[in-house]
Amino acid sequence: MSTAPRRPKFPLSLDAVVERKPAPARTAGMPAVGGARGAAMAAKSLAAKAPAAPTPAASAVQARASASTAGGGGMASERARGALAARLRAAGIRDERVLDAIATIPRHLFVEPGLASQAYEDAALPIGHQQTISKPSVVARMIELLRDGLAADEPLERVLEIGTGCGYQAAVLSLVAREVFSIERIRPLHEQAKANLRPLRVPNLRLHYGDGMLGLPQAAPFSSIILAAAGMEVPQALLEQLAVGGRLIAPVAVAPPAGGPGQTVTQQLLLIERRNRHRFHRTALEAVFFVPLKSGTI
Ligand code: SAH
């Protein structure tokens, strides 16, 4: 699936080292990159019993999201988004900031008009070039895992997304993080994402055209990294660009047991927490289905 160069010394091959248990609860403030900032965030979280207080960037995007759908079907789409968020809450998503973002971003703007009526179903939909817009429940789940332990008024810090696709998840991330960088390897999709995002004028999101397997060294380190495509393993460059104290969430292929019936390769979500320069703690989570992570650009 992935054409990544294989590294025999890769410290984190996907094998028996994965720990099969739910993600541990995290202390508020932990994901901050620096100690002082972490302490400040922890203090802030004690002070606030938060309804999801948006950053200034987030409230501006919220206003434009309403404006951009105010014409045809605006109210209907707002209701559909609210209903989608309610379904995700009922399905177990707890992070109010994530639910708010899902209720805010008009997903129908990110699919072709013929599919707009399905935009608020919890389903992946085609976006061309053999790629898909991710399922909202999976988008919400992955972001919630990155945010685990943060209060609603605490944004993620610096987030890197691999696989912009149509730009939907990047838009959701922009409402729950201070800064978002997103990379896409298929140029027409990168251009499409720019066009989709234009009416929302998201000030804290930067789109890059390139191979996300190499990360974005010029903007590293990242406190959170999220992959929207599944590789055989997590690229080494991304691990290197994860800040100490940071989290990475990725779908990763799991080979069937040796000697088994073969063929079927399944995927599971993998959460990686960087404990220090050399220690990465891995937690294997539920099975998922994503498009493949591929190297190079087209
Ligand atoms: N984030 C999207 C999901 C897009 S599907 C959403 O909001 O729904 C995953 C995307 O990952 C595809 O567009 C695919 O082209 C892209 N992708 C795969 N490998 C990549 C790589 N190495 N670098 C950047 N993008 C990649």
pLDDT band at 9 (very low <50, low <70, confident <90, very high): very low
Test site for ligand 1: of 180, 183, 291, most ligand atoms within 8 A of the Cβ: 291
Q: If pLDDT is split at 50, 70 and 90, which confidence band does 155 have?
A: very high
Of all atoms in ligand 1, which is nearest to the CA of residue 171? 7
Beta strands in 122-166 (DSSP E): 125-128, 131-133, 156-162
**Which residues are identified as catalytic?**
134
Q: What is the pLDDT of residue 274?
A: 98
Q: Which of 110, 132, 293 to mutate to test the pocket of ligand 1 (most atoms within 8 A of CB)?
A: 293
Summarize the confidence of residues 175-196 as an average pLDDT.
98
- CA–CA distance, 16 with 24 (Å, rounded to integer): 19
**Ligand 1 cavity residues, CB under 6 Å:** 131-134, 162-166, 168-169, 183-186, 189, 211-213, 228-229, 291, 293-295
Contacts of 119 by beta carbon, 8 Å cutoff, 6+ apart: 77, 80, 107, 108, 110, 111, 125
Nearest alpha carbon, ligand 1 atom 4: 165
- Residue closest via CA to ligand 1's atom 11 equals 163
Output the residue whose Cα is nearest ligand 1's atom 23.
212
Q: What is the pLDDT of residues 55-101, one digit of tens each?
A: 777 777 877 777 766 555 677 889 999 999 999 999 999 999 999 99
Residue with structure tokens 């984190």?
Answer: 12
By the 8 A CB rule, do 276 and 243 touch? no
Percent of the chain with pLDDT over 70: 77
Q: How many CA atoms lie within 13 A of 32 on its CB side?
A: 20
Give the model confidence (pLDDT) of 70-79 as tens digits. 555 677 889 9
* Residues 266, 65: Cα–Cα separation, whole Å: 36
Residue 227, helix vs strand vs coil: strand
> What is the average pLDDT across 20-43?
36
> Whose Cα sits closest to atom 8 in ligand 1?
133
Q: How far is the CA of 45 from the centre of ligand 1 (A)?
A: 33
**Cα(88) to centroid(ligand 1), Å:** 23
Q: What's the confidence (pLDDT) of residue 202? A: 97
**Residue in 3, 139, 180, 186 to alter for ligand 1 test, most ligand atoms within 8 A of Cβ:** 186
Whether the predicted pLDDT of 225 surpasses 60 = yes
Handedness of CA 29, 160, 248, 98 (dihedral sign): positive
pLDDT in tens, 100-110: 999 999 999 99
Express each pLDDT in 249-295 by its tens digit: 999 999 777 766 655 669 999 999 999 999 999 999 999 999 999 99
Closest atom of ligand 1 to 172 CA is 7
Distance from C-alpha of 42 to C-alpha of 186, rounded to nearest angstrom: 40
Which residue, by CA, sits nearest to atom 16 of ligand 1? Answer: 163
pTM of the model: 0.82
CA of 231 to the centre of ligand 1 (A): 11
SS3 category, 218:
helix
